[in-house]
Amino acid sequence: MIFPVMKLRNLANQTLLCGLVLACAALPAHADKKNQLEKPMAGPRATALRISWIYVAPDTSSQKLDRVQIGRELVVAEKSGPWVRIYANTDIQEAQDKDAPILGTDEAPPPISGWMAAKGIVVETTAGGDQVLMGEAANQESLASDPRGPANAAQSARLLYRRLVEMFPNSPLVPEAAWRAADIQWQIQKADVSTRPSAREKENWLRAQMDEDEMKKVIKLYPHTRQADLAAFSLIDNKLCGDWQGTTQCPAKESEVYEKYAIEHPDGPRTAQAIYLAVYRQAVLTDMYASNGDDKKSENAKSHAHELAAKLKDHFAGSDFAWRAGALVFKLDEGIPVYGIDRD
């Protein structure tokens, strides 16, 4: 399910040159304390850009202990030539707990210590390390949209974005990395929720909800930023009806939600889209009210659709959403149904 979803987001963000979630060190660990390795008192944090083996000794002929996955949190205890002794922490567990389908989680790897090749490891002291992590995370995210890409590419991208936030907190890329990590989690959960029978329920509270914690942290920690605007738009998903079921309550309520967003985020990257979605719902209400014989409400909805479309044209003239809204109101003026069965 992740491939088409991630592809849409990649296309929407392909012009970005820079770029979630506050440092994940504050998140609770879920493994029993007795099974956790104690972190060394000193040592830089690090992460791996490739899947690497951990050995008992700094020698490829020694016993293999485990494999470190891309983006896993590491602490470097010491170096020996081309080798580093690392502690692989359990941060991957909480990431999987939130990203996994609601009806089950994958088993997280245990904490472990050993030697691994220093090649392909980014340490928090690495010059330009934040840019390297951003680039590799974007590479992994792109692979997630490719059907031939690794199955866990989206998760790898998410973990790398999280590592950037943790390891380079002063980087100008942190807000974008935080948003992208939260967005990947949101899309994974959204795809999972959409496959459930409850996804067709009219009331939003009758279906599973996406976890809002990371999106809300982006809004709180990076207020009045592009990333906060994006996070606020994503949160609307949890307020939408699963299926309108032919009732006017859903499109009316959703139109209000999108209009409110546009007012609160007048220049956001999703504002034009929000206004268009409100126009569409007003067009739908025009048809619904007309089919119910309520001509006054139908005319009011049609008039409101025109007002919103005009606002789009005035403030976002170069946007496809302005043209799409114009096409919608043209259909309304021509008496062409936007929703339901053609009445001709």
For residue 109, give every residue at least 6 positions away whose Cβ sits within 8 Å of its Cβ, in sequence order, or none: 66, 69, 72, 88, 90, 92, 93
Three-state SS string over 169-185 comes to CCCCCHHHHHHHHHHHH
pLDDT for 4 equals 45
Can you give the pTM of this predicted structure?
A: 0.81
Query: Which residues are bridge partners to 67 per DSSP?
Result: 53
What is the C-alpha to C-alpha distance for residues 63 and 60, in angstroms, rounded to an integer? Answer: 8
pLDDT per residue of the chain (344 residues) written in tens, 0 to 9: 444 445 445 444 443 333 333 333 333 333 343 334 444 446 899 999 999 999 999 999 999 998 999 999 999 999 999 999 999 875 544 444 444 443 334 455 568 899 999 999 999 999 999 999 999 999 999 999 998 988 899 999 999 999 999 999 999 999 999 999 999 999 999 999 988 888 788 888 788 899 999 999 999 999 999 999 999 999 999 999 999 988 999 999 999 999 999 999 999 999 999 999 999 999 999 999 999 999 999 999 999 999 999 999 999 999 999 999 999 999 999 999 998 755 55
